Amino acid sequence: MFKKILVANRGEIAVRIIRACKELGIESVAVYSTADKNSIHTSLADLSICIGPPPPNKSYLNINNIISAALVTNCDALHPGYGFLAENPSFEENCSDNDITFIGPPSDAISLSGNKSMAIEVMKKHKIPVIPGSSGNVENLRQALNISRKLGYPVIIKASFGGGGKGMRICRHSHDLESLFSLAKSESLSSFGKSEVYIEKYIQKPRHIEFQIIADNYGNISCAGERECSIQRRHQKLIEEAPAARLSQKTRRVIKEYAVRAARAINYKNLGTIEFLVDENENFYFIEINSRIQVEHPVTEMVTGIDLIKEQIKIASGERNAFTGRDILASGNAIEFRINAEDSENNFAPSPGKITDCFLPGGPGIRVDTFIHSNYIVPPFYDSLIAKLIVWANSRDEAISRASRALSEFRIEGIKTTIPFHKKIISNENFKAGKIHTHFIEEEFAL
Ligand code: ADP
């Protein structure tokens, strides 16, 4: 087992990883930008080290500074968390060049997962259902027009190297394709540094259901069930739950098998997520692989009892998959609410600043993953996620009433958050009935 792990991240996920290290008896090293000098992850870790000024490209994205921090502190492993460098294959290579174990998949699996259009082609070869689409990147407008005509409108233009719900454009009519195609390409270039795009048939009102994979270094692959992430705003997840709200046992079992097959097809190692869209008739389609721990991993932890971060660490250290040959069962229902420092009454505008007072909910079935406290100043430089409220109960109905109770206790003063919006969602009758899809927020709240 590792002796010392460098946690190459900040915020709630850095705290989460440091906690897992402590429970495993492993020392942890936090890194921080000058904006995060007093952030709680720096004091929870055994050691902390400054890696640069606030802008992410000078600190949390600065590979040289992070690797140097790991070397001077004698770390034998590094956990990337999510975001920042977690899906950067050269980061993994830099770690291994310096004899630091990267807690995640090898660089070839990261590269393939990051190239969405190529991953889809690989899945097709392995007979995994995918959305009808362009078979690779679309080079020019003529090709885009041809493919879209064959697929039938609406279509969706997607950045091949995209992520985080960015770089996607829905095109409903051929006369809009020219402008949307060039917009998608330039957006993709500015956000991801690569202009490649591909085109898929646009699925009407799908549900986003993803499956958690656990794979060791010896080819033992298990699936820890699914998470439903259909409550999204502008393709970004806001609420996630496990198990999926309304999914037949048969479809669940079948997709689970495909998810394991997908992981095997690319010789996947460590933890990963295989994402699918599921339509109204429970037809399902692979969309992408996420080669890291997901923000929403706690809902799986709550229903399975598995500590996924500890599993990542154990597998990276060479341990065998502890779940080989047995079914991982889900008990009860868990729902996660992303609490963002955003003003949900004002087009979700970022709301950094000082938290003048704060009270975190507790009681049965409540978990809050966060790094905030009274007098904490939310810096303006990073992702707006400041806390995750996760509720667990014996049934979905009970989880919703528990969530309602917890959200009403949750108090964050001084800045605006998404808490008021979550309260509205959980009192919505269609949400309560599990009648959810990726356009739910748009339809119910005209947002
Ligand atoms: P990202 O990597 O940016 O998260 P994904 O490919 O995972 O992108 O898609 C994010 C979301 O965008 C999905 O959950 C879904 O809401 C929407 N989406 C993506 N592809 C399609 C499609 N072909 N039809 C309908 N919605 C889609």
Class at the top of the CATH hierarchy for domain 207-445 = alpha beta
Q: Classify residue 313 by burial, with Cβ atoms within 10 Å: 0-12, 13-18, 19+.
A: buried
The predicted-structure confidence for 130-148, as pLDDT tens digits, reads as follows: 999 999 999 999 999 999 9
Question: Which helix (DSSP H) or strand (DSSP E) does residue 368 occupy?
Answer: strand 366-370
Between CA 133 and CA 131 the distance in angstroms is 6
Best of 161, 168, 441 to mutate for ligand 1, by most ligand atoms within 8 A of CB?
168
Q: Classify residue 18 by burial, with Cβ atoms within 10 Å: 0-12, 13-18, 19+.
A: buried
Task: Answer whether residue 166 shows pLDDT above 90.
Answer: no
Helices (H), 73-221: 89-97, 107-114, 116-125, 141-151, 174-192
Between CA 39 and CA 87 the distance in angstroms is 24
Task: Answer whether residue 321 shows pLDDT above 90.
Answer: yes
CATH for 132-201 (3.40.50.1370, 3.30.1490.20, 3.40.1190.20, 3.40.50.300): 3.30.1490.20
User: pLDDT class for 167, splitting at 50, 70, 90?
Assistant: confident
Name 389's bridge partners: 337, 368
| Same fold: 132-201 with 207-445 | no
Q: What integer is the mean pLDDT of 187-214?
A: 96
| Mean pLDDT score of the chain | 97
Q: Provide the strand spans (E) within 139-186.
A: 155-159, 168-171
Between CA 151 and CA 14 the distance in angstroms is 43
Task: Answer whether residue 48 shows pLDDT above 90.
Answer: yes
Q: What is the pLDDT of residue 185?
A: 94
Task: Answer whether residue 164 shows pLDDT above 90.
Answer: no
Whether the CB of 288 sits within 6 Å of ligand 1: yes
Contact by Cβ (8 Å): 313, 20 = yes
User: pLDDT class for 221, splitting at 50, 70, 90?
Assistant: very high
Whether the CB of 181 sits within 6 Å of ligand 1: no
Whether the CB of 205 sits within 6 Å of ligand 1: no
Q: What integer is the mean pLDDT of 202-226?
A: 97
Reply yes or no on whether 252 is catalytic: no
Looking at domain 4-103, does it have CATH number 2.60.40.10? no
The predicted-structure confidence for 91-122, as pLDDT tens digits, reads as follows: 999 999 999 999 999 999 999 999 999 999 99
Q: Where are the domains of the chain?
A: 4-103, 132-201, 207-445
Q: What is the pLDDT of residue 86?
A: 98
User: pLDDT class for 434, splitting at 50, 70, 90?
Assistant: very high
Q: Is 211 helix (H, G, I), strand (E, B) or coil?
A: strand
Q: Which of 292, 338, 367, 402 is catalytic?
A: 292
Q: What is the pLDDT of residue 165?
A: 81
One-letter identity of residue 355? I
Give me the count of residues in the chain: 447
